Amino acid sequence: MTKKILSIVGARPQFIKAAAVSREIVKTPGLEEIMLHTGQHFDDNMSDVFFRELGIPRPHHYLDIHGGSHGEMTGRMLAEVEAVMLAEKPDIVLIYGDTNSTLAGALAAAKLHIPIAHVEAGLRSFNRAMPEEINRVLADHVSQWLFCPTQTAIRNLEREGIKEGVFHVGDVMYDAALDATHRARQESSILGRLSLAPGDYAVATLHRAENTDTREALVRAIDYLREAAGERQVVLPLHPRTRSAAAWFGVSLDGLTIIDPVGYLDMAAILENCTKVFTDSGGLQKEAYFHRKPCVTLRGETEWVETIAAGWNRLWTEQGEDHERQDIADYGAGHAAHEICTILAGEPL
């Protein structure tokens, strides 16, 4: 029997993870995929470019839901995602990460008694003030298959009483990064277009609510990046939320090299040739490690504790010092998507 998988995506990190898994679904006998895009990230720079570059199948369903409060967005998604599930009757709902799209998909599927597979399960920042933490905890507790990128994630689930259906598969982001880096070397011209010399710049991203929702928080983050730019040019692909916040609060971005958001291949080229990464993104902390670049996380905690333990990452709230850097075996060898699809194809419903 062929199992129909409804994959739910909505934000940039999910497009990247879905690209790796969707490629494997096509290769795996007994699986077929229907993709639903909630529209959480909706413009060309944050959405369409990833579908084009990464070869993700065009979504069968596009909901165009974005903006508004967390409750409003999630509520609208919940209603419309449920309607798609009722129409498609999937055997499995596949969700990624920790966004509002993740939570809406998890709740809708759970209420319809459709088995849920959660990619990137078990991550914890232990900061319940973060919307992402609430999303990931709730998604894990209603999922049947929990695909963990690390052993730490498995231990987090065990502490919450979740022991069945838990698999350590490695990190699908590593699958995607290996493919993108290879292609970027051949296809990306971003360094030339921006007049960036390899080894002569750092790269930063800034978008989380904790750094953009108040003027004080945004000024603190921008000042930190501006100070870093005193040593070496800091390139900041400007997220729409951060651009709006800077304009609303009247915060100057002078001293930073501001560019529009870039596609995944261009970002892979920028990362491969930079000297350092500053970010409040969970995904980019790992991508920095995949490229073996030191990272400073612009938050008070991180889900990716392995990157800190291995010496590749530190929190901006801690004093910077060089540590001996080690490889992180938990992330696997770039075959996480294959492991996920093999498990889903073989598991009874």
Active-site residues, by number, are 207
**Which token pair is 44?**
């060309």
Please tell me the distance from the alpha carbon of residue 306 to that of residue 327, in angstroms, as a whole number. 10
**Which token pair is 232?**
């070496």
DSSP designation for 41: S
Sheet with 295-297, edge to edge strand ranges: 257-259, 233-237, 201-205, 277-279, 295-297, 313-315
Amino acid symbol at 258 = I
Question: Which three-class secondary structure state does DSSP give residue 277?
Answer: strand
**DSSP sequence for 126-153:** --TTSHHHHHHHHHHHT-SEEEESSHHH
Among residues 277, 193, 289, 185, the alpha carbon closest in space to that of 235 is found at: 277
Residue 231 burial by CB count (10 A; 0-12/13-18/19+): exposed, middle or buried?
A: exposed
**Which token pair is 108?**
């809708």
Please tell me the distance from the alpha carbon of residue 77 to that of residue 81, in angstroms, as a whole number. 6
Instruction: Count CA atoms closer than 13 A to 154's CA, side-chain side.
Output: 15
DSSP designation for 286: H
Q: Is 89 left (phi over 0), alpha (psi -120 to 50) or beta?
A: left
